[in-house]
Structure formats: C-alpha cells, structure tokens
Amino acid sequence: MASKFLSRLNNHPRTKLAVQLSFSALIPAIPILIWSHNAKEEREERRHEVSTRLRIPSVQTIDELMVEKCQPGDVILFDRRCECCASGAAAALGCLLGKAILCEEEDGTRSVEKGSYEHCGIVVPGQSTAKGAEHDPSNLCLLEANSGSGIVCRPLLTRLEMSRSRSVILLPLSCPGDRRYEVEYGDEESSLSENTKFLKQQSHDELVKFREKWLSDSTSQQYQNQHSTLSIMGALLYLTGLYPTFPIPISPSAWLVVSALQGCGAAMKLNEKQSQQTRVEDFTRDGRFFEKDTVRLRPGWKFLSPVVMRETSVS
C-alpha cells in the first residue's frame, strides 16, 4: 500500500512541479549559505584573535592611541566591507543597498575625500563606576545599531580591533568654549572655563541616560530582528523618492546617532521626520555652510577636522 501511494505521489504532476520549484530555490541558496558560514567563521576567528592578543605594558597599539583621541559625543563613520557581514544575507543586502543608494561620489562638499560611509556610531561613556573612570579613555564605548545584536554598547577599543572596515573616520565633537587639540594633551580640562566644564558634564550625563534608555528599548522591542528590514526599506524608499511619506529612517544607524546628539544638546532638535531622513554621509558636510544633506548642530557646537582611525585598500 505504502509503495503504491509513494509511486502515485511521485508520478503526480503537482508533486513533480513542487520538487522542481524546491530545487530551483535551493540551488541559488547554496552559495549564500556557504558565504554566510564562512563569514561567521571569520568573525569568530577575529574575535578569538582579539581576545587572546598579547598586551605589552607601556606599549600602545595604533588603535589604543586612536581611542585616546576620542571623547563622549564623537561620531565614528565606517566604510564597511559588506561581504564580511556575519549577521546573515539580509544584513549584507542592507549594507550593499546603503552603499549603492545612500552614498554619493565625491563632489567636493564632503570633509572626507574617499570612502562610502553607510554605517556610524557615537562614542558614549562606559558603564564602569570606578573612581576616575569618567575621564579614562579605556572606559569609552561605541553605541551603534546593527543586525546581529540590535542597539549595542561595546568597548570602543574592542570595536575598533574587531572592525574589518575599509576606512574608519573619527569626527571629533567640540562644544562652545572647548579648546580641544589647541593645548597640550592632558591640559584641556584645566584650560576650560566653568561654563564649558558644566556644558561638557551635562552632555556626558545626557549621553549616559540616552545609552541606558535605548539599550533597554532595543531589548524590549527586539530591535535586532528589525534592523536589516529597516535598512533595506529605507534605502529603497530613498531610491524611489517615497521616503517623506513613510515614518521609516533612511539609515537606522544615522538616526540613532542624530537622536543621541539631540539628546545631549549638541544637535538642533529637528522634527522627527527630518532626523529620520539623515544619511551617514550627511555627517561629512559642515552644517554651517550647507543647508541640505547635513547634520545641523546648535550654535557653538561643531565637528572638528576628521581623523583617520583606519584606512586600508579600497579594493
């Protein structure tokens, strides 16, 4: 009975069609599955390499020197290698669409000469409460939105060491009265006025509140399951010109950073739709000289000249 049933089932036209459709869907998926497996293995190898790296006392790496230049509120741009996305095919597709649609060719208006920057994060205070941790560069973290973990806050040094991006650019944030890079390293604090110190402390405290709120919201709303979809939809809506009619951020990572800058008092509080229409490349244009495609900071606040944290082959 069973053999006759299976024989009849195999000879049925609909069964044959279903088998053919299954194979036609499976064959293109095979290289994608192989790529995804290799990307995850490479990420794990990188994580093991970073975690077991030999640290020599009093000898700093380039990444450690770069971290010392950072302060809470600084913005970091990434020109990522989409083929290295270990969070799956949807994350890689979102990365590719972001580069192809949201990134423009160099037109002389950007403060950065080369690179297609479609991802960014903001430097925030770390979670250590030890004495002196507030001014310790090793306590700095990077708050960012991604597909693998949602909105995450990771030690800045670890994030840089784990990165396989082509280029990483630091945009140092300066508040009114700040003399950053104008005086000898370590003397910045003593050269500030009381008003500037108060402003920097207030910005620091607001970034801590912002960090805790968004990390909590990300966990409760399971944002890690939404990031790739939002990235793909945002790029496609921008391409079709329909983005003004939908309450979806064009670039989720840029939206997070703009919201953080607004929360700490550095960026002008635009309406929600305008902040959702911010692209990562908008950070590379000075809002004092451009009306469109830029991030508008409050009077007295500005981004200083970009600092190249990493620059490798563009291939």
Taking residues 200-217, what's their average pLDDT?
94
Question: Helix, strand, coil proportions of the chain in percent (round to 5)?
Answer: 50, 10, 40
Given a cut of 90, whether residue 274 has pLDDT beyond it is no
- In this prediction, what percent of the chain has a pLDDT beyond 70? 82
DSSP strands (E only) in 80-214 = 119-124, 141-146, 150-155, 167-171, 173-174
pLDDT at site 111 = 64
Given a cut of 90, whether residue 143 has pLDDT beyond it is yes
Residues 92 and 94: their CA atoms lie apart, in Å, by 5
Residues 259 and 243: their CA atoms lie apart, in Å, by 18
Residues 49 and 156: their CA atoms lie apart, in Å, by 17
pLDDT at site 205 = 93
* Whole-structure pTM value: 0.85
Listed range (71-80, 104-113, 269-278) with the worst mean pLDDT: 104-113
pLDDT at site 130 = 74
Nearest to 234 by CA among 106, 118, 87: 118
Written as one string, the DSSP assignment of 54-66 is PPPTT---HHHHH
Taking residues 45-55, what's their average pLDDT?
82
- Which DSSP state fits 167? E
Contact 268, 297 (CB under 8 A): yes
pLDDT at site 187 = 58
